[in-house]
Amino acid sequence: MGVILKVENISKQYRLGTVGTGTIAHDLNRWWHAIRGKEDPYLKIGSVNDRNAQPTEEYVWALKDINFEVKAGEVLGIIGKNGAGKSTLLKLLSRVTSPTTGVIKSKGRIASLLEVGTGFHPELTGRENIYLNGAILGMTKAEIASKIDEIVDFSGCELYIDTPTKRYSSGMTVRLAFAVAAHLEPDILVVDEVLAVGDAEFQKKAIGKMQEISGGKGRTVLFVSHNMASVATLCTRGIVLQNGSISFNGDVNQAISSYLLDERGTSHTNVLKYIDNNIPEKNGVKLLKAIVSSDLVNTNQPIKIDDEIFMICEIEVNDTRRNINIGFQFLDSNGNVIFMSQTRKAQRPNNLKEKPGLVSFIGKIPKEMLNEGEFIVNIYVVEGTQDVLILVKDLLTFNVLPMARREGERLGKNAGIFKTNFPWEMKVLDIES
């Protein structure tokens, strides 16, 4: 399919602390440069869009040099931290505001759902707002009338459809606004974080509708969300924004991994080894080392699907006879716990004495159990079965890489967290005539 949306070197500059472009002096300076055919002098200044930094200049670049293309029928996820520039980008794409520099080229009709109640007049009823939104999108009254029953049914607001929307809750408003935007058949549907306002049932319906729009009808969806499960389910490609610039553009699963790694401030490595004196010591026990690796000696080796994975943990304890156990809790890239493993049944020496010492535990995950992708590990130290002495979340992050494939084998990741490779048997049975 052809390109339906093209963004070329767009940037958006704002002035900090004031509304508008600036003072009369600034406007006259811009005009003086313009009539002489020179560049806007204020485009040469401006700080990076880092909301945690102290302001050092009058201007800030909310977005800087953004370039990407979107093909018809593609579902593009735009992710990033709060303040990274996601909503600004969507407002530029929806033509709510214009870029300071750069060009946006698009084909067809764009419908936007950027904020709760976008395009709704509070004094008009739900039904009247449907017609108003349709007219804004360029549809005729007959076109809107042919779909209004479907819109009202999808929104679940039939009881209140002839009530002014100022009396709607935020969830009801989003329901109706999304129903309008999705059913009036835009070529490009732009959806910001507003779906999070809806309940779980509506979010599921909305995701299903967007999949139908993009898959069955070949229309394009731009989707912003902090729900990585929704992004992974819905999107085919992902863009990660960081401080107003694109830090990643590519496969949606890799985009999510990039975003989550940046959120935790960790590096893109396959194995992380943790030795930190800042880990708290409790009741005579201290966590010294935790490793997830495919090699007991060279622990920085990458982990592949067909490797055994070793879990290594070392603690310092004031009495080696104590019943100390370690727990490894494995999470997927979205932070969902998928399984855990404890050392409670580990074989222990019979000749332990009352003395301080180092205690090492080694466990093993079978090869071809974990699918390719990113995994997170929480570590906890317990005494007996109840008393949690130490708990460190997001301690380790590692990636499982695909195994080498022979020519002709299928490329791409299989669905799911686990690499299921159960034994199968084929029999050929005679067919009786």
Give pLDDT tens digits for 256-284: 777 766 554 444 344 444 555 566 678 88
Comparing 46-50, 55-59, 185-189, 201-205, the range with the smallest average pLDDT is 46-50
The pLDDT of 187-211, averaged and rounded, is: 78
How high is the pLDDT of residue 49? 53
pLDDT at 413 over 80: no
How high is the pLDDT of residue 211? 79
Residue 3 has a CB neighbour count (10 Å cut-off) of 13
The pLDDT of 136-143, averaged and rounded, is: 82
How high is the pLDDT of residue 322? 87
Comparing 23-27, 40-44, 199-203, the range with the smallest average pLDDT is 40-44
How high is the pLDDT of residue 125? 92
Give pLDDT tens digits for 90-107: 888 888 888 888 899 988
Give pLDDT tens digits for 316-326: 888 888 888 89
Give pLDDT tens digits for 284-326: 888 888 888 888 887 777 788 888 999 988 888 888 888 888 9
How high is the pLDDT of residue 20? 55
Comparing 80-89, 163-172, 184-193, 357-366, the range with the smallest average pLDDT is 184-193
How high is the pLDDT of residue 269? 42
pLDDT at 184 over 60: yes
Work out the mean pLDDT of the chain and round it to a whole number. Answer: 79
pTM: 0.60
How high is the pLDDT of residue 135? 84
Give pLDDT tens digits for 220-242: 889 888 777 678 778 889 999 98
How high is the pLDDT of residue 69? 92
How high is the pLDDT of residue 210? 81
pLDDT at 340 over 50: yes
7 or 266: whose pLDDT is higher? 7
Domain annotation for the chain: domains and CATH numbers: 67-264 (3.40.50.300), 285-401 (2.70.50.60)
